[in-house]
Structure 1
Amino acid sequence: MSQIACPQCLATNRVPEDKPAEKARCGSCKAALFDGHPVEADEKSFDTLVNRTDIPVVVDFWAPWCGPCRMMAPAYEQAAAHLEPEVRLLKVDTQANPGLAARFGIRSIPTLAVFKDGKEVTRQAGAMPGPQLIRWIESVTAYA
């Protein structure tokens, strides 16, 4: 069994290993647990989405005024479509959530951070094109 936090209601769901996770729905609100898009996280939802999810979680710390962040956004969308349900992709707007940026010491954006079992295991600053982004996520989450 894997635990996955619902991106809609934040309920923790147990997903059997022998069932297709990409079709899993929340037991509480019935929303899809995975929809092929990054999940917007804020200071209220971040800890639940990271700590109550057994799969690796990749967080894009970004801001709307950041040109490289906006350039990488479509690639990050593609990565979510390609990598879910093996990996959960989150987006944190550092302008709207400065507490999270300060908590994780985000000094430049975009910064990607990978979490496993609620702990940060690695990070990478700077924008990446789609194929490179997917390869990087696959390589760092394979051992997370």
Structure 2
Amino acid sequence: MKIVCPSCHRANNVPQERLQENPNCGACKQKLFTAKPINLSDATFAKHILNSELPILVDFWAEWCGPCKMMAPILDGVASKVDTQLRVAKVETDLNPQLGQQYNIRSIPTLAVFKGGKEIARQAGAMSESQLMDWLSSVLK
């Protein structure tokens, strides 16, 4: 399975049965799974979306957004629960306007799920952890 390193952003091939063994990146030797959201930018976004075989939940957010700040600990909790099945990522739209424009982000927070390099689902607005987990389950059946 292809996994992109959250530190150096290089793709790694990891056998599916080794995902639970907390593997390291072959290039930078950092952990491939951190059990927390990773920050993506205009420069690193495509590397993860196009090269990861894991689905990726992306939170498009802004520092000034109250609901976005409420979602931060919820996303931390989700990331720790689904770490080897789903990558959780964050994109700060004020710092990465190209991505906000490319994905037509009109309200924040906006959560989008990518799989196989394509967006497969989107949800705008804040939600509880249980609502988010239910939504992810329905999207990733």
State the TM-score, normalizing by the size of structure 2.
0.96
Are 1:31 and 2:30 counterparts? yes
Paired residue secondary structure (2:60): strand
Asked if the contact 1:94/1:101 (under 8 Å) is kept, the reply is yes
Are 1:129 and 2:119 counterparts? no
Q: Provide the residue aligned with 1:51 in structure 2.
A: 50
Instruction: Please give the per-residue CA displacement for 1:52-79, whole angstroms capped at 9, x wherever unaligned.
Output: 1001111000000000000111001100
Paired residue secondary structure (1:135): helix
Q: Separation in 1 of the partners of 2:77 and 2:21?
A: 16
- Which segments of 5 or more consecutive residues in structure 2 lack a partner in the other structure? none
Q: What code does the residue aligned with 1:20 have?
A: L
Q: Separation in 1 of the partners of 2:11 and 2:100?
A: 25
Q: Provide the residue aligned with 2:116 in structure 1.
A: 117
Instruction: Please give the per-residue CA displacement for 1:28-61, whole angstroms capped at 9, x wherever unaligned.
Output: 0011111110000000000001111001111000
Q: Separation in 2 of the partners of 1:87 and 1:24?
A: 15
How many residues are treated as equivalent by the alignment?
Answer: 141
- Which segments of 5 or more consecutive residues in structure 1 lack a partner in the other structure? none
Q: Provide the residue aligned with 2:72 in structure 1.
A: 73
Q: Which runs of 4+ in 1 moved over 3 A?
A: none
Q: Separation in 2 of the partners of 1:22 and 1:6?
A: 15
Aligned-residue Cα RMSD (Å) equals 1.0
Q: Provide the residue aligned with 2:82 in structure 1.
A: 83
Cα 1:124–1:10 shift into 2, 3 Å: same
State the TM-score, normalizing by the size of structure 1.
0.94
Q: Provide the residue aligned with 2:139 in structure 1.
A: 140
Q: Separation in 1 of the partners of 2:128 and 2:71?
A: 7
